[in-house]
Amino acid sequence: MRLSFIGMSGTGKSHWSSRLVEQGYKRFCCDDLIEQRLQPELTTSGGMTISMGEWMGFPYEAHYPEREAKYLGYEVEILTEILNHIEANPKHNRNIIIDTTGSVIYMETDLLERLQRLTTIVYLDTPLAVQERMRSAYCTNPAPVVWRDKFNQQPNETHEAALARCYPDLLASRTHEYKKWADITLDYHLLRQPAFGVDDFLNEISNVYTVVEKAL
């Protein structure tokens, strides 16, 4: 099967894509590949390395729009290269997993349609009860989150208050897009049951959605 995982950061995309490597899948982690291209900018003058989340920063910071655009530019390049690779090597790409970023739904429609044509898109969902924890985690240890037009700070509003108000809107808009593009949605709590393993994961996909080998 050729699979793509979509969903917010922290939903388990990297965990399950890494587990599929144990089953012989070839994994493409878009975040890791973006990080490689950003490496010169992630190294400080003192030789220390910062995370992509630290580099991108929060949407109220002056440098954020430029870095958001650069991140998205690399994301387009990398996803295009992965899909080119799949099409160019059909006999060697039967078991593929693409671990996309949370912002994949901001790619151009033709690129997303190509992803949908070449892979089965699996959405790892985010229930409402979990979203507040995700916001707190983002404020404490930010992942590189693309906000687009979903952040707007009101006069006299603190940064923290603006993030708390806007984050649910960001998640709601993304959830709509994730569901729009997904072939299958997997339940957040099911994936976190102690006895639920990688075989169960693959069986769940097969049971819920008859995976058809998509033509190249």
All structural domains of the chain, each given as residue ranges with its CATH number in brackets, are 2-208 (3.40.50.300)
Q: Residue 124 is encoded by which pair of tokens?
A: 């790892």
Radius of gyration of the chain (CA): 18
Neighbours of 79 (CB within 10 A): 24
pLDDT grade for 133, boundaries at 50, 70 and 90: confident
Separate counts of helices (H) and strands (E) for the chain: 8, 5
The conformation of residue 6, written as its DSSP 8-state character, comes to: E
Q: Which residue's structure tokens are 């790892």?
A: 124
pTM of the model: 0.90
Choose between 147 and 208: higher pLDDT: 147
* Residue ranges of E strands in 14-155: 26-29, 96-99, 120-124
Q: Is the pLDDT of residue 143 over 70?
A: yes
pLDDT grade for 152, boundaries at 50, 70 and 90: very high
pLDDT digits (tens, 9 = 90+) for 52-106: 999 999 999 999 999 999 999 999 999 999 999 999 987 766 799 999 999 999 9
Q: Is the pLDDT of residue 200 over 60?
A: yes
Q: Is the pLDDT of residue 213 over 60?
A: no
Sheet of strand 120-124, all strands in order from the earlier edge strand to the far edge? 26-29, 96-99, 2-6, 120-124, 184-186
Q: How far, CA to CA in Å, does 139 sit from each of 52, 73, 160, 201?
A: 14, 24, 8, 31
> What does the angle CA 56 – CA 31 – CA 106 come to, to the nearest 5 degrees?
75
Cβ pair 6, 181 in contact under 8 A? yes
Q: Is the pLDDT of residue 212 over 70?
A: no
